[in-house]
A and B are shown apart, each in its own frame.
Chain A
Amino acid sequence: MEGFTDLLQPVVLVPWILGMVFGVFVGATPGLTATMAVALIVPMSYRLDDPVAGLAMIIGVSFTAIFAGDIPATHLRIPGTPASAAATLDGHELAKLGRADHALRLDLICSAFGGLVGVLCLMLVAPQLAKFALKFSSQEYFWLGVCGLSISAAVSQTGALRGAIAVALGMMLSTIGVDDQGAVRFTFGSLDLYDGVQLIPAMIGLFGLSEVLRFAARSDDPVDAVGASASARGGEAPQSAWRSVWAHKWTAFKSAILGTIIGALPGAGADIAAWGAYGMAQRTSKNGKRFGRGAEEGVIAPTSANNAAVGGAWIPALVFGVPGDAVTAIVLGAFVVYEIVPGPQIFERSGDQVTAIFQIALVTQFLLLAAGYLGIKAFGWILRLPRGAVMAAVAVFSVVGSYAMRDNVFDVWIMLAFGILGFFLEAKRIPLAPLILGLILGPMIEENLRAGLIKEGGSIVPFFTRPICLALILTLAGAVGLKPLWARFARSG
């Protein structure tokens, strides 16, 4: 209880709410993603005196930006984040019927509810899973990393092969620096590269700066308004949204549970969770034929699932150090800077911080209701901002954010290089999320492969015969085999 009171101190609450407002702004701006919002907030959070305030900022943004992405999806049919794509279908249809605010209120309530379910599942499952994970050895960690990367490549929207190329690229880049045996690799004499590629500048470049370059590439017309055709706002009472959610409470609950499970699969993410829940709701609803034409369940299901997936993705991230998606990967990187080392011993080594994370994530769901309502109201103002100014601000924040990590201009060059790389790769339909996961999980896979081989005198056999390894291999085969199911979810949308 004392922990909750600590969270309500101004020194924590003010940056937390400011972070959430920032998340609303970035998520609601078409073209700016939740990943970018989290990547840009992390350097700021490090500068706060109170580490709990920094954690609150990061966690607040990660949940808020996913919801905020649904705002332009509803009004303009432009998903603010990939996780909002499924909510676009019926949300925008409702908006065309003049019920945009009603759709967004449904969305907001379900996002907070889904987030709450995801976090409660995280609190229940993660400690138990951590006890089980104590049985894991190098071989199991190797396969966990492989599972994460394989699934993220398999579910890539541009195809498994392109996903695999992204993974290989990320892993290749992760070999830069001094390895765990002390060998120096690909530093070309630069001391700045001894610690490897700094994750946060790389992510700011990939997800922030590359978007600015994409904007420049699209801007054949120099005056690019964010959107002038926002749909008419509805005049329904806010209570009607609560009544609608109550009427479809089981859809919301089932979607949140499904979202948590899909989110917890390493390599899957909020976007797949949203499509999965949409497909399930469509098949199980009596009004299945109304989906895609303004069905309330078509908003409730994906929005409950996408925020639930955020909590779900933290389960493997905290217990095994295997992030479920790019947003969680950044959050995980940030946790490490706060000396929260993911792994089975996280609850013993960093118990207080983990408790704080859980409490922050829970309270964030309630704050989301207020921040999200503000976002719904402020969207008209965001639409009036000149797009060029927003993008110039993103470029400047990318530069300052990457510099602020270590007060080092070299990190800004890293950010710039990754921005150009991200722009090039996306133009060639190479997805960026598997690249980031490769960058993070590459060292884990290599170190555990080598450690496992050394322990067994070079024998690869235990990698395939240990019981948990076998279970992980079967899980991997099953998850990759389920790929047609993901495709079916997407098609059903």
Chain B
Amino acid sequence: MAGGSQREADGSAALGGFLAALGGAAIFFSRGIEELGFAREGDPGSKAFPVALGALLAVAGAWELARRFRGRRDGASPLFDSAAWRRPGTRNVIGLGASLAVYVWLLGPLGFASSTLLFCAPWMRRFGAGWGRPAALTIALVVGVEVLFAGVFQVRLPEGSSILAIDRFMVNL
């Protein structure tokens, strides 16, 4: 815990890198912003604000990185904590983030119901116990959302291109 606090006081390499990269990217890509020729006297133009903010973020990032390196020089803590990647919590976050991305991607081909079942049941299993209750809760969740959004609020939930293709195939048969 003390190490964590020390690291926070020293700044964060990840945050510093992120801010510096974002700021740098904002300045770089601002070059491509076209001024449409409506510029009137006194108008700083469409590039000014993004460039100023990009510079601000880049400076903040550089400052955060400098604090981090200074902390490292003082021997407070390693620059990158490789043990963090092996912690179950970190693995959970990466796994959940990746499966969420797959879930969203699957919404197109598989539709809402199938992709939600594929996403939810394993995660409920991971954070719960056994398969029975997670499976029942997932089905209840899918049915609940279908009733609420599709039934009551008339939202057209993604039906899934593959599911529709199978439907068409079955009808043609």
Give the residues from 165 to 185 in chain A that come closer than 8 angstroms, CB to CB, to chain B: 165, 168-169, 171-172, 175, 179, 181-185
In chain A, positions 47-66 with a C-beta closer than 8 Å to chain B are: 47-48
With most chain B CB atoms within 10 A of its CB, the pick from A164, A399, A424, A430 is A399
Given contacts A47-B155, A181-B38, contact A428 B124 (CB under 8 A): no
Q: Does A474 contact B (CB under 8 A)?
A: no
Q: Is A374 an interface residue (CB 8 A)?
A: no
User: B66-83: which have CB < 8 Å to A?
Assistant: none
B166: interface (CB < 8 Å): no
A183 contacts which chain B residues (CB < 8 A)?
33-36, 46
The answer to whether B36 and A458 have CB atoms under 8 Å apart is no
Contact residues in B for A184 (Cβ distance below 8 Å): 33-34
Q: Are A400 and B155 in contact (CB under 8 A)?
A: yes
**Binary CB contact string for chain B from 100 to 124 against chain A (1 if under 8 A, 0 otherwise):** 1101100110001000100110011
CB within 8 A of A171: which of B53, B129, B137, B138? B53
Is the CB of B168 closer than 8 A to any CB of chain A?
no
Also in contact, A185 and B93, with CB within 8 A (given A223-B129, A429-B8, A453-B42): no
Q: Are B56 and A44 in contact (CB under 8 A)?
A: no
Residues of A within 8 A of B29 (CB): 186
- Indicate if the CB atoms of A182 and B38 lie closer than 8 Å: yes
Q: Are A47 and B18 touching (Cβ within 8 A)?
A: no
Q: Are B107 and A172 within 8 A (Cβ)?
A: no
Report the minimal beta-carbon distance from B144 to chain A, rounded to whole angstroms: 9
Q: Are A185 and B33 touching (Cβ within 8 A)?
A: yes
Query: How near does chain A come to B151, taking the closest CB pair, in angstroms?
Result: 11
Query: Nearest-CB distance from B31 to chain A (Å)?
Result: 11
Report B28-59 CB contacts with A as 1/0, cut-off 8 Å. Answer: 01100111101011111010011001101100
CB within 8 Å of B: which A160-207 residues: 164-165, 168-169, 171-172, 175, 179, 181-186
Give the contact-size bracket for chain B: 35 or more
The answer to the question of A476 belonging to the interface, with a C-beta cut-off of 8 Å to chain B, is no
Interface of chain A: mostly helix, strand, loop or mixed: helix
Residue of A nearest to B91 (CB): A216
Min C-beta distance of B123 to chain A, whole Å = 5
From A172, A420, A424, A429, B54 is in contact (CB under 8 Å) with: A172
Report whether A393 and B141 are in contact in the complex, using a CB–CB cutoff of 8 Å: yes
Does B131 sit within 8 A of A, measured CB to CB? no
Contact A428 B53, beta carbon cutoff 8 Å: no
A131 to B42 alpha-carbon distance, docked (Å): 30
Q: Which B residues are closer than 8 A to A by beta carbons? A: 8, 12, 14-15, 18-19, 22, 26, 29-30, 33-36, 38, 40-44, 46, 49-50, 53-54, 56-57, 60, 87-90, 92-93, 95-97, 100-101, 103-104, 107-108, 112, 116, 119-120, 123-124, 126-129, 133-134, 137-138, 141, 145, 148-149, 152-158
**Interface pairs (16), CB distance under 8 Å:** A165-B19, A165-B57, A165-B60, A181-B38, A183-B33, A216-B92, A217-B93, A386-B128, A387-B127, A388-B127, A389-B133, A392-B127, A397-B145, A403-B158, A416-B101, A416-B104
Other than the given A47-B154, A423-B93, 16 more pairs (CB < 8 A) read: A165-B60, A171-B53, A181-B38, A183-B36, A183-B46, A386-B137, A388-B124, A389-B137, A395-B100, A407-B155, A412-B104, A419-B100, A424-B18, A429-B8, A450-B43, A453-B42
